[in-house]
Amino acid sequence: MPHATRSSFSPLAGRRCRQADEGHRGVFARLALVLFLLLSPLPAFAVNPDEVLPDPALEARARALSAQLRCMVCQNQSIDDSNAELARDLRVLVRERIVSGDSDEAVIDYVVSRYGEFVLLKPRLRGETLLLWGAPIVLFLGGAVAMTLFVRRRAGKAVGEPLTVEEKAALDRIVGEGHAKSVGSEK
């Protein structure tokens, strides 16, 4: 009996226990990863199964077009992502137009004619939207010019005019007092 007790506490047995413990940690880590992936939120598209077209090519076109159109209720979502009734109606409309043989441009033009340019998530570059497209560029360039002028003025003041006689005397007095204090504290 003492022999069995001694062998169960041998270094080899301890190594086997550590290996088994590390194996359990690996299994736990894999299980945690699988649970995380299963429970993590996936992108939920709002397209209902009854809306999906039987032809995969046409469905892919419908999805691509739906991703370009804004939900008029949610306004920051495409109709492909929105659960609103109006978005559902627009998805059905897009699919009907595609099945009837309209091109992608014709479908977009039809929806824009009914709901206006605002329905596009990425507005077209036209006369009416030129300010919308150009404003970020103008603001960036204006900021760059303002920053350049500010830095130049600051640099000009730093290098600027020489000190007046009074300013030089005051500076010498301040530096002299500071030097005298530091010499006095060393003693």
Q: What average pLDDT does range 60-70 have in this prediction?
A: 88
The pLDDT score that the predictor gives to residue 156 is 64
Q: What average pLDDT does range 44-73 have in this prediction?
A: 79
Least confident of 9-23, 97-111, 125-139, 168-182: 9-23
Q: 3-class SS at 48?
A: coil
Question: Residues 144-181: pLDDT tens digits?
Answer: 999 999 988 877 665 567 788 998 899 889 888 776 66
User: What pTM does this model have?
Assistant: 0.48
Read off the amino acid at residue 50. Answer: D
- The whole-angstrom separation of Cα 82 and Cα 58 is 20
Residue 70 pLDDT greater than 70, yes or no: yes
Say if residue 151 is exposed, middle or buried (CB neighbours under 10 Å; 0-12, 13-18, 19+): exposed
Question: Residues 75-88: pLDDT tens digits?
Answer: 788 888 888 888 88
| E strand map for the chain | none
Q: Calculate what percentage of the chain has a pLDDT beyond 90.
A: 15
Q: Is 112 in contact with 120 (CB distance < 8 Å)?
A: yes
Token couple for 160: 């600027």
The pLDDT score that the predictor gives to residue 146 is 95
Question: Residues 112-127: pLDDT tens digits?
Answer: 999 888 888 887 777 7
